[in-house]
């Protein structure tokens, strides 16, 4: 790894205030990137150092359009887009609501898709990159995650289709699918749910740290991955081997 692998690279990162997004922001900054962090968490953004920040709800089309325009104006362009922003809800099927589905798809699927649409107007042909953070749940059945899995599965499918659509421009699209990661996103699972299934698929390496996943994202976004597009990178510690 070069300490200047992203020297001068202009990178908006959604979900940059906490968890995997924050670790990704810090990793990119350490490698020389010019980062524009987008999040709803005002305090989390304020505590970041060495980055430009922008408060926005990624589920709002208007907010996304404004955020991308602000990133272009602030950074002087966009070289790489990294979509990390996402939410998680535990939804046993008997309590699954339309609100669960609507909110999860709005944040986890529609938001990243609109960010991609807007960023593609600015990404340079030949070197532009989009990294969308999906989930191992996108392609593997996990109890109580029907809505979450569906929203991340849709983002995975979107990413693969988009890669095929923009490959003629030399723009890469790489979905990165983390497994269980120690972030606030996985907190709050009701104690009365039967979690024995997850005990069977738990990685012997334990949950990932946000920094470990950020390393994978940085690789996918870097010239080191120049021949990777339209292929999911799964980082789950072997939990689904």
SS3 12: strand
**Residue 66 near residue 115, CB atoms below 8 Å:** no
Burial, 92: exposed, middle or buried (Cβ in 10 Å; 0-12, 13-18, 19+)?
middle
C-alpha 30/C-alpha 19 separation (Å) is 17
Q: Which helix (H) or strand (E) holds 129?
A: strand 129-133
* Phi-psi category of residue 15: left, alpha or beta, with phi > 0 → left and psi -120 to 50 → alpha: left
- Name, in order, each residue with C-beta under 8 angstroms of 26's C-beta and a sequence gap of 6 or more: 48, 214
* Residue 201 parent element (H or E): helix 196-201
Give the residue numbers annotated as catalytic, written as ranges: 148
């Amino acid at each position: 790894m070069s300490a200047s692998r992203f020297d001068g690279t202009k990178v908006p990162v959604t979900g940059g205030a906490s968890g995997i997004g924050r670790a990704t922001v810090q990793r990119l900054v350490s490698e020389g990137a010019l980062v524009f962090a987008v999040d709803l968490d005002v305090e989390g953004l304020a505590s970041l150092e060495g980055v430009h920040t922008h408060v926005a709800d990624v589920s709002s089309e208007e907010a996304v359009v404004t955020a991308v325009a602000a990133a272009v104006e602030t950074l002087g362009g966009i070289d790489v887009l990294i979509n990390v922003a996402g939410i998680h809800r535990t939804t046993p099927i008997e309590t699954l609501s339309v609100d669960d589905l609507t909110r999860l798809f709005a944040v986890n699927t529609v938001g990243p898709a609109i960010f991609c649409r807007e960023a593609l107007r600015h990404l340079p042909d030949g070197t532009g990159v989009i990294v969308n953070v999906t989930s191992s749940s996108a392609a593997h059945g996990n109890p109580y995650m029907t809505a979450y899995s569906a929203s991340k599965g849709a983002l995975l499918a979107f990413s693969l289709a988009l890669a095929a659509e923009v490959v003629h421009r030399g723009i890469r699209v790489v979905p990165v699918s983390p497994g269980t990661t120690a972030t606030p996103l996985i907190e709050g699972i009701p104690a009365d749910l039967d979690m024995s299934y997850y005990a069977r698929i738990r990685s012997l390496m334990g949950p990932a740290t946000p920094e470990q996943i950020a390393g994978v994202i940085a690789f996918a976004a870097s010239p080191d991955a120049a021949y990777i597009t339209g292929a999911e990178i799964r980082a789950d510690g072997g939990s689904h081997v």
